[in-house]
Amino acid sequence: MPETYDAIVLGLGAMGAAATYQLARRGARVLGIDRYAPPHEFGSTHGDTRITRIACGEGPEYSAFAARSHDIWRELEGETGLDLLTQNGFLAISGAGNRSANHGVAQFLDATVAAARFAGVSYEILDGATLRRRYPALNVADGDQAYHDTVGGFARPENCVTAQLRAAVARGAELRLGETVLSFVQQHGSVSVATNKQTYSASQLIVAAGAWLPAMLKPALAANFMVTRQVLYWFRARSEAAHAEFSPERFPVYIWQLPAPQSIYGFPATGGLDEGVKLATEQYDVATTPDSVSRSVPAEEVRAMYETYVEPFFPGLSPVCVRSKTCLYTWVDKARFIIDRHPDSDRVIVASPCSGHGFKHSAGVGELLAEMVTIGRKPDPRFAF
């Protein structure tokens, strides 16, 4: 007889770790399974930092998740002693003329202001001269302006996964790491999950497989998702003084709608001069898969990034790229999330809250997923397949 659980969570990245923790916290008998040992570098939840903001220009339906995540991370910091959340402020910068969209939203600064009002977040609007004075690291133009709040900042994705898995195990969750789910099927009022090692059974299954999700769905459902390769860069500042301008005490996280093809987003320095300063753009043009993606970053790609997106806007950063990483977005049209019951199997919950902005919501999404299992909570219909 297969072992039986209240819930199995397939995938223990940002979403699966959060769901496992929240299920265990509610006293559910839960098994989490991952093909690797999260946190790891093969999916979507690595690279030291993720922007978090409660004013979400992607839509007002997201803010409550981010706000809950902040509360949950603060509680977990107390329990685990890990560093999870830094609220050093958030800037959404834009300006006159044609600007790149962010997550499909052309007027991202205006949308962020609307979201802040909706969520009750206090903010200020800064003009170009004020921005330059306050943040000398940014080469903003005279006509540029920015939204600024002090509740945004950055989360530590690897630590968040570790903290939630640790807290889940402390509450009785079982984990199987290095074990790959090959198939799942709903039958006789339960879900049977077969891995490369054994078969388990649960009352409900949460599929939080990130970029591996499309390959687990029939083509008609998989067509909702596009997996894209993203690159993170850490450039070294030109001097200790230039590096200091990026310290979290002085420098917020930012999303900058540029005249260049893409927006750029970035973080304060989280280490010394030789650890560089992290920033990135996004690409949505070329689809890939976790198995076929190129994980190396050639020198020409680094050079093009520096020339187009770094040198013109960050005069204190040198062309020396001390580190780069590839990562995967699982994109849904209009940067939406899909959190819904599987159309053919009502005991299977599919969770794909990514579209390049999911991390900040993950702890709150974990709570929703757990309550879908334990009390039949219904997700917002905007997250339906």
Ligand X SMILES: Cc1cc2nc3c(=O)[nH]c(=O)nc-3n(C[C@H](O)[C@H](O)[C@H](O)COP(=O)(O)OP(=O)(O)OC[C@H]3O[C@@H](n4cnc5c(N)ncnc54)[C@H](O)[C@@H]3O)c2cc1C
Interface with ligand X, residue 16, by CB under 6 A: yes
Looking at 23, 328, 349, 373, which residue binds ligand X (CB under 6 A)? Answer: 328
Looking at 7, 8, 9, 14, which residue binds ligand X (CB under 6 A)? Answer: 14
Residue closer to ligand X, measured from CB, 53 or 236: 53
Measure the CA–CA gap between 177 and 34, rounded to whole angstroms. 5
Residue closer to ligand X, measured from CB, 224 or 242: 224
Measure the CA–CA gap between 318 and 136, rounded to whole angstroms. 15
Q: Considering only 73-81, 118-126, 302-310, 356-364, which stretch makes contact with ligand X by CB under 6 A?
A: 356-364
Residue closer to ligand X, measured from CB, 38 or 128: 38
Pair of tokens at residue 116: 């802040």
Interface with ligand X, residue 214, by CB under 6 A: no
Give least dist CB 178 to ligand X, A.
9
Give least dist CB 10 to ligand X, A.
6
Interface with ligand X, residue 184, by CB under 6 A: no
Burial label for 88, CB within 10 Å (0-12, 13-18, 19+), is middle
Residue closer to ligand X, measured from CB, 329 or 383: 329
Bin 188: left if φ > 0, else alpha if -120 < ψ < 50, else beta: left
Name the residue among 166, 261, 221 with its Cα closest to residue 342: 221
Looking at 31, 165, 191, 327, which residue binds ligand X (CB under 6 A)? Answer: 327
# chain residues binding ligand X, by CB under 6 A: 36
Give least dist CB 51 to ligand X, A.
3
Residues numbered 237-276 forming contacts with ligand X, rule: CB under 6 A:
none
Pair of tokens at residue 5: 């659980």
Give the containing element (helix H, strand E) for 134. helix 128-134
Looking at 113, 116, 317, 354, which residue binds ligand X (CB under 6 A)? Answer: 354
Give least dist CB 296 to ligand X, A.
15
Name the residue among 253, 250, 254 with its Cα closest to residue 242: 250
Residues 30-69 vs ligand X: string with x where CB under 6 A? Answer: ---xxxx-x----xxx-x--xx------------------
Give least dist CB 47 to ligand X, A.
6
Task: Look at residue 192 and give its three-state secondary structure.
Answer: strand
Interface with ligand X, residue 369, by CB under 6 A: no
Nearest residue to ligand X by CB is: 13
Burial label for 183, CB within 10 Å (0-12, 13-18, 19+), is exposed
Residues 164-183 vs ligand X: string with x where CB under 6 A? Answer: ----------------xx--
Q: Are 221 and 340 in contact (CB under 8 A)?
A: no
Measure the CA–CA gap between 53 and 66, rounded to whole angstroms. 7
Which residues contact residue 365 at a Cβ distance below 8 angstroms, ignoring those fewer than 6 apart? 15, 18, 19, 65, 337, 339, 351, 353, 358
Q: Are 153 and 85 in contact (CB under 8 A)?
A: yes
Pair of tokens at residue 212: 């591996």
Q: Are 88 and 33 in contact (CB under 8 A)?
A: no
Interface with ligand X, residue 227, by CB under 6 A: no
Give least dist CB 4 to ligand X, A.
19
Interface with ligand X, residue 8, by CB under 6 A: no
Q: Considering only 105-113, 315-323, 357-365, 368-376, which stretch makes contact with ligand X by CB under 6 A?
A: 357-365
- Residues that bind ligand X in the complex, under the rule CB under 6 A: 10-16, 33-36, 38, 43-45, 47, 50-51, 180-181, 208-212, 230, 232, 327-329, 354, 356-360
